[in-house]
Amino acid sequence: MSDSCFQLKGSVLTVVVLELYDFSSTAFAKQLQQKVKQAPMFFQGSPVVISLEKLNIEVKRIDFTILIGLCARYGLKPMAFKGGSQRFRDAIKSTGLIHLPAASLKSATEPVEKPQPAAKVEPETAIEPETVVKTVDEEKNVFWPTKLITQPVRSGQQIYAKQADLIVTSHVSEGAEILADGNIHVYGALRGRALAGAQGDENARIFSQSMEAELLSIAGNFILNEDIRTRVWKERAQVYFNNNVLHLKPI
């Protein structure tokens, strides 16, 4: 038996490079979501390097926390940033991720994803290189614990479930506000404001045992009390966003 605990070895690790052209949280979330939908197994838990080399020079600021949060939300594991202008240096440093110099990675020949493919690309062809697909064969669960609130949320209070779903087992008073980046479930009466998909996830939904909200919003698309009153008032109901319309339906 050897008396050393480890050995250092050189190795080549294949990672996905996300080449950023522009950043708005909603557009980014939307594109990423579509991308991930095409090949969920592939993206689940895959390490990713975010390259800023091709970033539009007009972009002055990027909220890196949101960027990383959105990647994580869709199962990616951001591990480093690469390249980019000096002006992002401090912001990148504060994310705690590695900052690689521009030419440190040799890109794969084919882009893993193209910015706007004109024709619809089959998921299989969109995934390159081969080898990665083979190594990422087991499904890894990225698990964001749901935020659970068991007491009433009172007027003047605000609850935010960051990068997670929110469950309230009691009621939400008028004048209270609850937000979640994911879905919202309220098992008492929902009388305050509820905002799901707070960072732009249009697939988020809001459910309540008694819908009496002041405002309901999915990814910034909202509906006000007067509309709710005429439709599902005090009913068991859900709200979701589909085809650019908010749907308010009894369950």
Partner 1 sequence: MAKIIVVTSGKGGVGKTTSSAAIGTGLAMNNKKTVIIDFDVGLRNLDLIMGCERRVVYDFVNVISGEATLNQALIKDKRLKNLFILPASQTRDKDALTKKGVEKVLNDLSKDFDFIICDSPAGIEKGAQMALYFADEAIVVTNPEVSSVRDSDRILGILQSKSRRAENGGDPVVEHLLITRYDPERVIAGEMLSISDVEDILAIPLLGVIPESEAVLKASNQGTPVILDEKTKAGLAYSDAVMRLLGSNVDYRFITVEKKGFFKRMMGAGR
- For 40-76, b/e burial (b = at least 16 CB within 10 A) is ebbbbebebbbbbeebeeebeebebebbbbbbebbbb
Q: Which stretch binds partner 1 (CB under 8 A): 13-21, 61-69, 154-162, 220-228?
A: 154-162
Report the residue number, 52 or 168, with the smaller CB distance to partner 1.
Answer: 168
CB of 239 to partner 1, least distance (A): 23
Report the residue number, 73 or 191, with the smaller CB distance to partner 1.
Answer: 191
* Position among 14, 173, 221, 225 found at the interface with partner 1 (CB under 8 A): 173
Report the residue number, 144 or 187, with the smaller CB distance to partner 1.
Answer: 187
* Position among 175, 187, 222, 235 found at the interface with partner 1 (CB under 8 A): 175
**Among candidate residues 168, 231, 239, the one with its CA nearest the CA of residue 204:** 239
CB of 186 to partner 1, least distance (A): 13
**Among candidate residues 46, 115, 106, the one with its CA nearest the CA of residue 78:** 46
Contact 181, 199 (CB under 8 A): yes
- Told to check if 234 binds partner 1 by CB under 8 A, we report no
* Position among 146, 157, 203, 225 found at the interface with partner 1 (CB under 8 A): 157
- Told to check if 171 binds partner 1 by CB under 8 A, we report yes
- Told to check if 40 binds partner 1 by CB under 8 A, we report no
- Told to check if 152 binds partner 1 by CB under 8 A, we report yes
Three-point CA angle 226, 232, 237, nearest 5°: 125
Number of residues that bind partner 1 (CB under 8 A): 15
- Told to check if 34 binds partner 1 by CB under 8 A, we report no
Q: What is the DSSP string of 187-248?
A: EEEE-SEEEESTTS-TT--EEEEEE--SEEEETTEEEEHHHHHTTTTTS-EEEEEETTEEEE
Token duo for residue 218: 């999915």
* Position among 151, 169, 236, 242 found at the interface with partner 1 (CB under 8 A): 151
For residues 242 and 84, what is the distance between their CA atoms, to the nearest angstrom?
36
For residues 202 and 226, what is the distance between their CA atoms, to the nearest angstrom?
23
**Binding track over 102-141 against partner 1, x by CB under 8 A:** ----------------------------------------
CB of 152 to partner 1, least distance (A): 6
Q: Does residue 123 come out as left (phi exceeding 0), alpha (psi in the -120 to 50 range) or beta?
A: alpha
- Which residue ranges make up the site for partner 1 (CB under 8 A)? 151-157, 170-171, 173-176, 188, 191
